[in-house]
Chains A and B, each alone.
Chain A
Amino acid sequence: MITAGNRSALGTLAWWLIRAQFRSRRAATLLSMLAIGLGVALGYAIHLINDAALADFARAMKSVQGDPDAVIAARDSAGSVPLADINQLARDPAVLVVAPVIETRVRIDDSPIPVSLIGLDVFSAAAVMPQLMPRHDDRAVLDNIFAGGVYASPTLLERLGLRPGDALTLVRGEQRWRTTISGDLPATHPDEQLLVADIAWVQQRFGPAEAVSEGRVRLAPDADLSTWRTTLAQRLPAGLLIRAADDDSARLSNLSRAYRVNLNVLALVALLTGAFLVFATQLTAVAQRSTQFALLGVLGLSPRMRLLQVLLEGLAIGLPGSLLGLSLGYILAVAFTQLLGGDLGGGYFSDSAPLIVPALVPALAFLALGCLASLTGAFYPAYLNRTQALAQALTSGFSQRPAAIVASPSRLALPALLALAAFALAQLPPLFELPLAGYATIALVLAAGIASAPLLTQTMFGWLSERPLPAPQRIALQNVAQAPLMAQVAASGLIVSFALTASMVIMVSSFRVAVDHWLDHVLPAPLYLRSKATPLPQPLLDALATPDAPFARIERMATASLTLDPRRPKVALLVRELERDNPAARLPFTGPVLTPPVAMPLVWISEPMHEIYRVGAGETLRLPLLGREVDVFVGGVWRDYARQFGAVVISRDDYLSLGGDFQPTDLALWPLPGQQSVAVAWLAPPIERYGLELADSAAIRELSLSIFDKSFAVTYALEAAAMLIGLFGLAVTLAASVWLRARELATLAALGFDRRMLSTAVMLEGALIAGVGLLIGLGCGVAIGSVLTHVVNPQAFHWRMPLAIPWPMVVAGAAITLAAAVLASRYAARQATRLAVAQVLASAQ
């Protein structure tokens, strides 16, 4: 019968015990808290950063697109929406207003940085994108927006140092528009740098004729979006697509989902290691206090309370740890966004540092997650505490019940079964477009590793301890072999942390090697020239074609993008000057290169495209090209680490014969032999004049690899944290096992072992356990590394790479960890040698 008074009395007892526990195990408790805190902090920071980055991205999108119910746009970025379609759409009774816009990028007065120019119709824009509405200024030269002035966002005005009434020239490729500033855009976001003008003026100056970029639709309040959309989609011309607001958010979340999930799994790893540390701490705490708990049980503490007490102690670690983690996570999030931007160096979002805004519900969720992790860690110790035989524990202390863990053939079955299951899971396709089965495989590999630890320990050291050896070594071996539970706890921490670290090292290294090879293949030319988002100026192209130009060879490329699915990020379309018969000279193919059986356009798709849209070489693909749907033959799949959402290469000849307009944006340049510096000097004036970018292949390569390294910065930090936690777990468990064997050690001391011998025995024991842990950890690490490389990466990022294990690095890491483990066991050994022999022997009974 539990009354209120009863509860409060038991609460007091629980509190006394928790306080006592914290007092006597300060370091272990604090470190467990830190570990939980670290896991929560990382997870929470990733959540905060991603949330902020997505909100920032959505806001940026909203500020240039407004908040339409749907958007009608061309599927081909080079295409446009014919006016007739806009006008027909406007007459739909379900449509309240359709706001047409022409969006283009222009350079202002030959400034190298292009800005967005949005041509809009003020009559319709007010309802859909009020934040883009211009404000006419009294100083303007022109009467109103219809007279042809432009309106600039305040930030842009400030950057350009221009005021209303000032003249400026907008340049896009060959076209120039000399106009004046008529006012500003008071409602734009402070970050936004853009220009707004009347749609007719933009069309007149920069095109497209008889068409607009897109129509943004506001539906009548009583119209049903999904029905309307379905009906419209059926009669929409092939080159157009309809995109609803939820497509935008889906696309947005698709954009970052893979990297987000991967980082979150890393956070989960930290949390799991935290849980493991709580497990180690609580298990040793239970073992050390088994007599005390037995006494309390004899005095009348109910079994339920004995279970609860250990769980409560776990929670007492988890709750402050999680709170610490939340604040740490917030600080991390702010720091990371300031340093690396919203995508943690992933390159998905703009460079601006998004604002971190913590919300209550996710914070509570992460708090709960941290508490859950510590409760999970405390559960097995709590269960052991609940089931201790009181009378026995009171007289002889914690029972490891070795009878329960005897070596038997059936014990081989569990790890073998787990390994088999892991192998089977690794074969599964992605779920919800996420490598969930891959993650499960990793968990199973770890579980199999941990499960195999006692078997290996007993077999190996049991056999070794029967060899003729000096006494300390023998004792160490016997201890390891015969106290498998503690050894397993100590070893499993190292297995988990080393396996994860090694696997990440293997994955990152494989990736880096693959990127390195790939860069060799995709950067054949010494120099690359690029214009920013606008076509390269014709005079430059003409000049390059003259014999005076110091180049042996020039290859031109035009880029565009295609929307195959409005819920997914766009696919890049690369129009290149390459030989239809020999694309392999320029593209790193992963499989066979085929030619179409009949005369039809030929494309080569990138690996991500192959994975995302499930199209392979030899198949026919329907592409929304140039305002219509074109059936093209897929001639091959090439490796691409640059465009995660897919790319299609088509030869310039095919593109032209389809009626495309080839406007090069990128050039690959081969200077005449020995004339690279001459070539660079030759290019300097046009670069200056047109705001182009020139880079040599070495610089591009260096930049690419540095971006690569930056994006794995967080991974390296986590690896270090995981290793520290693993080592600490080893130290804690070793110390605990020494404590538990105090009597035995004291007996040895009484029998004439000196301190050095005892110390050697304990350190050797630590080294042996660490050795087993590292050995299994290495095996698991290679397995997990393969899973990451061959399963997780292709499924999450849609790119494949060969496995490249950096043995020197992995072995060195193992050696350092072993050394650290020996150091950690020194700490335990010091405790062993400090035991006052007589006191231990006297007080133990």
Chain B
Amino acid sequence: MLLLANLEKRHATAARPLFSGLALTVAAGEIVALVGESGVGKSTLLNCIAGLENADSGSIRIGPQAVDIAKLDESARAALRARNIGFVFQAFHVLPTLTVAQNIAVPLLLCGVPAKEHGRRTRALLERVGLSGFGPRWPASLSGGELQRVAIARALIHQPALILADEPTGNLDPRTAHEILALLLERVREQDVSALVVTHSQQVASCCDRILTLTPDGLS
């Protein structure tokens, strides 16, 4: 689950805060779409939730223990991300120098699961995302849709409490986009995870449980 309270973020140069007094609760198993105009601060909000940027005030509680990521130091944030957050990006960000199976296993390694325990879990998940037998392949030989499936598998493998997806279908053709979105939502619901999906696409937003719009005045 995700719990934001009274969140405020300013830009060093701008007089007006990017957002302030922001509050949001995403329950376990709930999928929330975040929409809004470009530059309104969707990505910044996402970065703040992931602990990649510092919010100026407020709290961000993540996971079953509801740890406030805003109060942690850099290393602890990294550890919290490793255990509790799964990421899906518009640009896929699959490591080209690791095989598909290795890419998916990276979060497991970051959680401290030794490599010999990976095989079954990665194989099962590859099957669930429709990539059976893709494990030993190199990312360079995969299509965009396939890469995003790999990314989804990677986001889910360590059973995080929260999935953060930033335009997950932005680089895909509409047909593939639809498939991928369906897959993501299906897997998220299946694992009872909270998810926050940033998107410009109405189609994507409409598939989510709840749609929030970020405006300079706040969330609605």
Interface residue ranges, A against B (CB under 8 Å): 3, 5-6, 8-10, 12-13, 16-17, 20-21, 23-24, 291-292, 295-304, 390-391, 394-395, 845
Indicate if B39 sits at the interface (CB-CB under 8 A).
Answer: no
Sample of 4 more A-B contacts, CB < 8 Å, known A9-B109, A299-B81, A845-B91: A9-B110, A16-B102, A295-B95, A394-B93
Q: How many residue pairs, one in A and one in B, have C-beta atoms under 8 Å apart? A: 84
Given A298-B50, A304-B75, A391-B47, are A291 and B93 also a contact pair (CB < 8 Å)?
yes
B112 touches A20 (CB 8 A): no
B124 contacts across to A, CB distance below 8 A: none
Indicate if B106 sits at the interface (CB-CB under 8 A).
Answer: yes
Indicate if B78 sits at the interface (CB-CB under 8 A).
Answer: yes
B79 touches A10 (CB 8 A): no
A303 touches B74 (CB 8 A): yes
B110 contacts across to A, CB distance below 8 A: 9-10, 13, 296, 299-301
A394 contacts across to B, CB distance below 8 A: 89, 93
B53, B79, B97, B102: the one within 8 Å of A391 (CB): B53
B75, B102, B113: the one within 8 Å of A302 (CB): B75
B97 touches A20 (CB 8 A): yes
B75 contacts across to A, CB distance below 8 A: 302-304
A5 touches B95 (CB 8 A): no
B32 to chain A, nearest CB (A): 20
B108 contacts across to A, CB distance below 8 A: 9
Indicate if B83 sits at the interface (CB-CB under 8 A).
Answer: yes
Q: How far is the CA of A701 from the CA of B49 in the complex (A)?
A: 81
B74 touches A16 (CB 8 A): no
B107 touches A299 (CB 8 A): yes
B82 touches A300 (CB 8 A): yes
Given A3-B112, A9-B109, are A298 and B87 also a contact pair (CB < 8 Å)?
yes
A302 touches B79 (CB 8 A): yes
Q: Which of A295, A301, A394, A845 has most B Cβ within 10 Å? A: A295
Interface residue ranges, B against A (CB under 8 Å): 43, 47, 50, 52-53, 74-75, 78-83, 85, 87, 89, 91, 93, 95-98, 102, 106-115, 154
A13 touches B97 (CB 8 A): no
Q: Could you list some 18 contacts between A and B, CB below 8 A?
A: A8-B114, A9-B114, A12-B115, A20-B97, A296-B95, A298-B50, A298-B52, A298-B81, A299-B87, A299-B106, A300-B79, A300-B81, A300-B110, A301-B78, A302-B75, A391-B43, A391-B47, A845-B91
B74, B89, B98, B115: the one within 8 Å of A20 (CB): B98
B47 touches A299 (CB 8 A): no
A24 touches B97 (CB 8 A): yes
A402 to chain B, nearest CB (A): 18
Q: How far is the CA of A300 from the CA of B75 in the complex (A)?
A: 9
Q: How far is the CA of A8 from the CA of B125 in the complex (A)?
A: 23
> In chain A, what residue has the closest Cβ to B164?
A298
A13 contacts across to B, CB distance below 8 A: 106, 109-110
> In chain A, what residue has the closest Cβ to B93?
A295
Q: How far is the CA of A454 from the CA of B136 in the complex (A)?
A: 46
Q: How far is the CA of A17 from the CA of B50 in the complex (A)?
A: 24
B33 to chain A, nearest CB (A): 21
A300 touches B95 (CB 8 A): no
Q: How far is the CA of A13 from the CA of B95 in the complex (A)?
A: 12
> In chain B, what residue has the closest Cβ to A395?
B91
A297 contacts across to B, CB distance below 8 A: 78
Q: How far is the CA of A845 from the CA of B170 in the complex (A)?
A: 11
B83 contacts across to A, CB distance below 8 A: 300
B125 to chain A, nearest CB (A): 16
A292 contacts across to B, CB distance below 8 A: 95-97
Q: How far is the CA of A797 from the CA of B74 in the complex (A)?
A: 56
A299 touches B82 (CB 8 A): yes
A10 touches B95 (CB 8 A): no
A297 to chain B, nearest CB (A): 7
Q: Which of A20, A23, A299, A304 has most B Cβ within 10 Å? A: A299
A296 contacts across to B, CB distance below 8 A: 95, 106, 110
A243 to chain B, nearest CB (A): 63
B60 to chain A, nearest CB (A): 15
Given A295-B95, A297-B78, A391-B52, are A12 and B114 also a contact pair (CB < 8 Å)?
yes
Q: Which of A5, A9, A304, A845 has most B Cβ within 10 Å? A: A9
A395 contacts across to B, CB distance below 8 A: 91
Q: How far is the CA of A303 from the CA of B47 in the complex (A)?
A: 17
B106 contacts across to A, CB distance below 8 A: 13, 296, 299
A6 contacts across to B, CB distance below 8 A: 112
Q: How far is the CA of A711 from the CA of B33 in the complex (A)?
A: 77
Q: How far is the CA of A299 from the CA of B164 in the complex (A)?
A: 11
Q: How far is the CA of A23 from the CA of B91 in the complex (A)?
A: 24
Q: How far is the CA of A394 from the CA of B98 in the complex (A)?
A: 17
Q: How far is the CA of A302 from the CA of B78 in the complex (A)?
A: 5
A298 contacts across to B, CB distance below 8 A: 50, 52, 81, 87
B151 to chain A, nearest CB (A): 10
B203 to chain A, nearest CB (A): 21
Going nearest first, the 4 A-B pairs with the smallest beta carbon separation are A300-B82, A20-B97, A6-B112, A300-B81
B97 touches A12 (CB 8 A): no
Q: How far is the CA of A396 from the CA of B89 in the complex (A)?
A: 14
